[in-house]
Amino acid sequence: MQAKNLSLALGTSCLVALAGCTGSGQDELQGWMQSERNAIKPQVTPIPEPTKFIPQTYSGERMMEPFSSEKLASVMRGSPATTIANSALIEPELNRRKQPLEAYPLDAMSMVGSMNRQGQLVALVKVDNLLYQVRTGSYLGQNYGRVNKITETGVTLREIVQDSAGEWIERPAALQLQEEASK
């Protein structure tokens, strides 16, 4: 019977403890939560009005197509002044005899050294495991490259190439001294 009284006393104390948790404190908490909800006002920025679309008429149909044969013909005709300038630039190159190093592209060549021959600096250029002596005025590469200057560390030259409009222009190029790694 003592065990029965003990369990009854334990059950009663638990009910009293639970009843104490649901008292007037809940009403106070509920009131505070409601006042906080009312105090907070969300700030939503309105969505801007969409911009009005104004249709435009297409006017490119009157223009010449970029890849048409008419456009190519007009570029090829060109102005007489540019034709004369182009022919003056490339004609001497076409009429002279080719040198052996003009058969190779410039990126297939490498400068491996230089030496002084009779007071003039000569560059040593290696192509296909062959060594060539290059002097100022020599021709290199497949773009009519002519050597302008030779130093101990490089060769500067000018090439004659066609630009995107088909006109011949001069551009600078260079070969730098390449040191081979020992095997």
Measured CA to CA, the distance from residue 129 to residue 170 in angstroms comes to: 30
The residue whose two tokens read 């600078």 is: 172
Phi, psi of 40 (to 5 degrees): -90, 120
Give the tens place of pLDDT for each residue, 4-48.
666 777 777 766 666 665 555 688 888 888 998 888 888 888 999
Domains of the chain: 69-176 (2.30.30.830)
Give the tens place of pLDDT for each residue, 68-117.
777 667 666 665 555 555 666 777 777 888 999 999 999 999 999 999 98
Measured CA to CA, the distance from residue 118 to residue 157 in angstroms comes to: 22
Containing 156, the helix (H) or strand (E) segment is strand 154-162
pTM: 0.52
Listed residue (159, 165, 120) closest to 141, CA to CA: 159
Measured CA to CA, the distance from residue 4 to residue 134 in angstroms comes to: 118
Instruction: Give me the pLDDT at residue 28, please.
Output: 87
| DSSP per-residue string spanning 99-132 | PGGGGS-GGG-EEEEEEEETTEEEEEEEETTEEE
Measured CA to CA, the distance from residue 125 to residue 71 in angstroms comes to: 43
Give the tens place of pLDDT for each residue, 6-15.
677 777 776 6
Give the tens place of pLDDT for each residue, 139-176.
999 998 999 999 999 999 999 888 777 778 889 999 99
Instruction: Give me the pLDDT at residue 18, please.
Output: 64
